């Protein structure tokens, strides 16, 4: 074989009927497989693990392809020909296969240790076989799409490729993006407006949400109706997105309703900042009622009907403005009451609710909270000084931030509930990002799920 022909050796050479990948391909697959199988925080389904591994392998192949394209211009034909020899390919394939097998074995051991800590059944051979098939299909599918796009770009030439790229970006930005977002927003609105017939609207005039209530049953939103309908011992008030046009007016309405139903006559008032969709954790409410023996009023205010991730990315200020408006309004009303009649004030928030509540503390309130409790506060986005913090070491939300790629997370306020993986620059960030998708699929006390201690752990006024 001439040097010229050697430089044109295809990606797969053959030994008899066996196709051998290039050395670079074997290295990319082994390296990205090992990264995708590095220790994470939570047990994973075969589907999640397979898709995650497939995505990383496809990304690794793309990176290696780009690197090889540059290297071909810098490395001599003699060196390239040498690394295309069959024995190099066989060696690389054997080593990469062994490395991947070791990574799978280590991942299986780690995953089973997590599952044992969380009371889940262990993952057997079938789990890993399914994950491997899904990973292969994902990687091959993405690689095939990439090859197709590459061929199309070569066929169109440089000028037309640039034009197509520009038109594609503009199309996504001006057409596809808005259409997708409007579709998602419409689904969020429908979910928020859905009235569950299994819920019973309160009929007593002294209960929020009743026909005599200042806040109508329909305006509370789906999560608000669930919250109010479940009330028995405590006073519960909730202002939904449709209850008033803006955060300040919703807060004023919530305070008026809280006063109407006797909330300020209770011994304690808890301002509960919901998550993005308006959800207030029932475990937290149960814990609050246990903590105060039912002599408590709980008030919440919706700021979005989108999931927390969407609100965090696109409208974080709405969460902060809403929490600030409600906490300030409640504090102002309490401050206006005679000293001997004032209830104790508390502030609670989980996840994005903790971010919003943290912003509320930045504003000067006429009444200081007796205690503040954050459950699963997002890393680097919440002020934890002086607050009671509930954080699981297996919760990816308390790990994840862009800084995680280059520095260890601060777990000083977290309680260890499962084995803690070794931090690896870059790799831990990827693993934690994948674990975010399964953060709620575990029992309370693990991941991003917390129990009644969200309420019972609230402190007392000094």
d(CA 378, CA 355): 7
Position 384 scores a pLDDT of 86
319 vs 174, residue with greater confidence: 319
What would the pLDDT profile of 165-210 be if each residue is shown by its tens digit? 777 777 767 776 677 767 777 787 788 888 888 888 988 888 999 9
In this prediction, residue 449 has a pLDDT band, given cuts at 50, 70 and 90, of very high
d(CA 153, CA 149): 6
Q: Residue range 338-342: average pLDDT? A: 94
Position 16 scores a pLDDT of 45
15 pLDDT exceeds 70?
no
Instruction: Report yes or no: 215 and 253 within 8 Å, Cβ to Cβ.
Output: yes
d(CA 209, CA 146): 55
Nearest residue to 297 via CA among 271, 275, 274: 271
User: Looking only at Cα atoms, what is the longest distance across the chain?
Assistant: 97
- Would you call 308 exposed, middle or buried from its count of C-beta atoms within 10 A (0-12, 13-18, 19+)? buried
66 pLDDT exceeds 80?
no
3 pLDDT exceeds 70?
no
In terms of phi and psi (left: phi > 0; alpha: psi -120 to 50; beta: otherwise), the region of 209 is: left
Q: Residue range 320-344: average pLDDT? A: 95
* Tokens 């902060």 -> residue: 320
What are residue 374's DSSP bridge partners?
349, 389
What would the pLDDT profile of 349-368 be if each residue is shown by its tens digit? 999 999 999 999 987 777 78
80 pLDDT exceeds 70?
no
Position 6 scores a pLDDT of 40
Task: Measure CA of the first residue to CA of the last residue in the chain; give whole Å.
Answer: 86
In this prediction, residue 385 has a pLDDT band, given cuts at 50, 70 and 90, of confident
Position 59 scores a pLDDT of 92
Position 103 scores a pLDDT of 95
Position 17 scores a pLDDT of 41
Nearest residue to 105 via CA among 137, 132, 138: 132
423 pLDDT exceeds 80?
yes
d(CA 305, CA 311): 9
d(CA 445, CA 433): 20
What would the pLDDT profile of 25-64 be if each residue is shown by its tens digit? 899 999 999 999 999 999 999 999 999 999 999 999 988 8
232 vs 399, residue with greater confidence: 399
What is the share, in percent, of the chain residues with pLDDT greater than 90?
63
Q: Residue range 98-119: average pLDDT? A: 95
Position 50 scores a pLDDT of 96
Instruction: Report yes or no: 86 and 391 within 8 Å, Cβ to Cβ.
Output: no
**In terms of pTM, does the model score above 0.95?**
no
Across the chain, what does the average pLDDT equal?
88
The kind and range of the H/E element at 147 are helix 125-171
Position 188 scores a pLDDT of 78
| Alpha-carbon distances of 456 from 288, 289, 363, 451, rounded to whole Å | 6, 8, 26, 9
2 pLDDT exceeds 60?
no
d(CA 372, CA 93): 56
CB-CB neighbours of 340 under 10 Å: 5
SS3 71: helix
Position 4 scores a pLDDT of 40
DSSP state of 27: H
């Amino acid at each position: 074989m001439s040097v010229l022909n050697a430089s044109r050796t295809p990606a797969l050479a053959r030994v008899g009927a066996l196709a051998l990948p290039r050395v670079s391909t074997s290295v990319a697959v082994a390296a990205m497989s090992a990264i995708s199988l590095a220790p994470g925080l939570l047990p994973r389904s075969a589907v999640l693990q397979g898709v995650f591994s497939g995505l990383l392998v496809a990304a690794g192949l793309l990176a290696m392809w780009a690197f090889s394209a540059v290297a071909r211009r810098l490395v001599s034909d003699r060196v390239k020909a040498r690394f295309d020899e069959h024995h190099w390919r066989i060696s690389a394939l054997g080593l990469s296969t062994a490395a991947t097998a070791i990574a799978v074995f280590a991942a299986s051991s780690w995953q089973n240790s997590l599952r044992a800590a969380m009371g889940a059944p262990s993952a057997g051979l079938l789990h890993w076989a399914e994950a491997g098939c899904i990973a292969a299909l994902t990687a091959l599918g993405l690689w095939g799409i990439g090859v197709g796009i590459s061929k199309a770009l070569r066929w169109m030439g440089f000028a037309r490729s640039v034009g197509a790229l520009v038109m594609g970006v503009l199309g996504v930005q001006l057409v596809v993006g808005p259409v997708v977002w409007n579709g998602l927003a419409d689904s969020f609105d429908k979910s928020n407006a859905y009235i569950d017939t299994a819920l019973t609207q309160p009929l007593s005039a002294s209960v929020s949400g009743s026909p005599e209530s200042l806040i109508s049953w329909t305006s509370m939103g789906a999560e608000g109706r669930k919250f109010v309908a479940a009330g028995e011992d405590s006073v519960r008030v909730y202002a939904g997105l449709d209850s008033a046009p803006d955060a300040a007016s919703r807060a004023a309405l919530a305070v008026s309703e809280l006063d109407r139903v006797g909330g300020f006559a209770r011994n304690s008032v808890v301002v509960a900042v919901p998550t993005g969709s308006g959800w207030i954790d029932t475990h937290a409410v149960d814990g609050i009622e246990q903590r105060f023996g039912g002599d408590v009023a709980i008030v919440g205010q919706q700021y979005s009907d989108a999931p927390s991730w969407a609100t965090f990315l696109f409208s974080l200020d709405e969460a902060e403005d809403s929490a600030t408006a409600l906490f300030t309004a409640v504090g102002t009303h309490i401050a206006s009451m005679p000293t001997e009649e004032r209830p104790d004030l508390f502030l609670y928030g989980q996840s994005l609710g903790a971010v919003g509540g943290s912003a509320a503390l930045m504003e000067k309130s006429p009444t200081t909270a007796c205690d503040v409790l954050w459950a699963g506060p997002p890393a680097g986005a919440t002020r934890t000084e002086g607050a009671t913090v509930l954080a699981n070491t297996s919760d990816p939300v308390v790990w994840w931030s862009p800084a995680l790629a280059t520095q260890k997370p601060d777990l000083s306020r977290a309680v260890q509930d499962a084995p803690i993986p070794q931090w690896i620059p870059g790799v831990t960030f990827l693993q934690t990002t994948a674990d975010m998708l399964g953060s709620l699929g575990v029992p309370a006390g693990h991941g991003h799920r917390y129990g009644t201690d969200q309420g019972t752990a609230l402190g007392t006024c000094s």
